Every structure is written in C-alpha cells, then in structure tokens.
Amino acid sequence: MSAVGVDYELMRMQYGDLPNVLKNERRSYSHPWTEGIFVDCLNSGYECWLFVLEGRNVGHSILSIAAGESHLLNVCIHPDFQGHGFGRALVEHMLYRARSGGARTVYLEVRTSNKVAYSLYEGLGFNEVGVRRDYYPAFVGREDALVLAKEILPVD
C-alpha cells in the first residue's frame, strides 16, 4: 500500500486530538514528546497537522515558520502504518505549508541512527548541513543529530 490512491486526509491538529497524538508518539519513539510540548506548539500557532487514514489518526507533524525559515520539529507515523509512503506524503504537505508561510529554507534534525527517516528526507531533497552533538536523549547517554536543510521557493 502506498499513499497514492489511498483515502487519507491532512487535518489541522486540535487540542482534543492530543490523546490520540500522544498514543502515536509514545508508540513511535523511545523518548516521545510530552503533552505539554504539543500544547505549547498549538498555543504558539505552529503548523500542527494530522495524517488521518480512513478516519483514524495515524500520524502527525509540527512545523514552525519565522523570518523566512521553517523548522520541521516533529514527524510521526504510527509504526503499524510505516513503509507505505504516508510519512513522505505528510512531509510533502509540511513543505507546502512552509512555502505557503513564506519560508525559503526548511531545517530539521534526525537521529544519526534513524536511517529510514534520513533516507526519506534525502529523497525529498534535504541535504546534511551540520551535526548537533549529544542532541537527543538515548537509553544510554545521548545521541547526535544530523541537521538537514532544504531550500524551497515560496508560493506566489
């Protein structure tokens, strides 16, 4: 199954969506975001979106936009639904939102160990521009983050 030809919607996240968002987040990541982080993102007016497949929230993403730049802060697809192009569709939507918001560059961080996500971002035209040492918490110590960037043209 791929995102092409599948009945999915991209919907703005609401406060009432947080219980399901947190379930997906906790199932997907060893060190998930807290409810407070999501509330702060919603309160700040960030681009907070859900990936809804046949009426079920199976993913989410958060993007901040300011001063001609954007930062893709979170991309999550529930593990049971990974590998079908849904993450790609969600990131492409977030790139559109960044363009619509006037951003010329999108930045993100990815764990050095997350080869699948790195491959996705690379396939979408992101390039490695730096490393943040000890950026992510890990079960033992901390893990570096690769900083990726993509230049985009704003929507007219």
Q: How far apart are CA 10 and CA 13, in angstroms?
A: 9
Q: How far apart are CA 22 and CA 27, in angstroms?
A: 8
Determine whether 96 is an active site residue.
Answer: no
Catalytic residue among 121, 122, 128, 135: 121
Determine whether 109 is an active site residue.
Answer: yes
Cβ(10)–Cβ(52) below 8 Å = yes
| DSSP code per residue over 71-90 | EEEEEEE-GGGTTSSHHHHH
DSSP, collapsed to helix, strand or coil, labels residue 152 as coil
Catalytic residue among 109, 118, 143, 151: 109
Catalytic residue ranges: 109, 121
